[in-house]
A = this chain, B = another copy of it.
Amino acid sequence: MAEPSISTECKPGVGQESAGKGGERIVRTAPEGGPLVDVMGGAARWQINVHDHGFVALIDAMPRLIPAGTTADSAIVQAARVSYGAGTKKVSEDRGLTRYLLRHRHTTPFEMVEFKFHCAMPIFVARQWIRHRTANVNEYSGRYSVMTDRFYRPSAENVRKQSTVNRQGGEEPIDLSTAREFLDYLDACEANYKTYLSLSERGVARELARVGLPQNIYTEWYWKCDLHNILRFLSLRMDAHAQQEIQDYARAMHDLIAPIVPVTMEAFKDYEMDSVRLTRLEIEALRAGKATIETDNKREQAEWEAKRKRLGFGS
């Protein structure tokens, strides 16, 4: 199917005539180097579907308009450069500077970029997501509106076993017979939706009627966050220890912003996602050429063993 054709023409907007009281003081400056271009290419929405009924849709970005030939990464560099002042020569290329900032935890310039998303996800995913506090959120309200009949169902192959190692859900699927029993259980839970609807229609307060609905029912929200805190979100939620379902949402978010801030996302991969932190104990072991670290903590020892493999040491 062809993508919708998107017009990118940009007409003069409101504002300039309607300034009103005080507005006469405003001096407007045109962009240097010609008209600006839309980072979303004139689209209103970039959407990636997740699972059966979920999605992450980018609906706005700051900067939205940028000089032709640049990326939105330029807003990071612009903010960072204020530290260097007018008289200082441009020592590093933009790419080098962006990478330097990320590598050295100069996080504030990344807060100068903002993204807004419209998302739909099951409530159990929303509950993990909302723990990221530095974000702006408006969620669908089951107090005002009737919840829609949409529930998350993994495929039978995606019903996972409890991990015995880390007491979380692992990646291994459970046997098919138990998986089917699990899906039947979801059916039974969701079957109560009909009664929910009927009770709502007969006047039971929606805020009460909904409390029997299972946590795999879908909700939706607008979610707006700066890039620094989005990176933090991605770092925690694309991690293998996060629940598989939220990983899928995090990856969709990643893929939506990667074309808009490509330099940042490459640096994020190099310095955060694919990096390894060595502890004091591990550094000492490395320096001493030892395969074990000075601890009687088995888990920490095992972590070191895994890192050693990652770094190409040992068998």
Contacts and interface: CB of A to CB of B under 8 A. Distances in A.
Given A212-B215, A262-B20, A108 B138 contact: yes
Contacts of A71: 14
A60 B60 contact: no
B287 A279 contact: no
Contacts of A84: 141, 144-145
Interface residues of A, number: 178
A237 interface: no
A88 B68 CA distance: 42
B116 A143 contact: no
A262 B18 CA distance: 9
Given A41-B12, A178-B202, A146 B85 contact: yes
Given A23-B259, A111-B136, A136-B112, A204 B162 contact: yes
Nearest to A184: B195
A11 B68 contact: yes
A231 interface: no
20 contacts: A6-B30, A20-B259, A26-B46, A29-B43, A36-B42, A63-B64, A79-B138, A82-B138, A112-B116, A159-B204, A159-B208, A161-B203, A169-B208, A189-B214, A271-B277, A271-B279, A274-B279, A275-B277, A276-B277, A286-B312
Given A4-B29, A86-B148, A274-B280, 9 more contacts: A60-B63, A65-B65, A80-B138, A82-B139, A96-B297, A111-B136, A207-B243, A224-B226, A289-B312
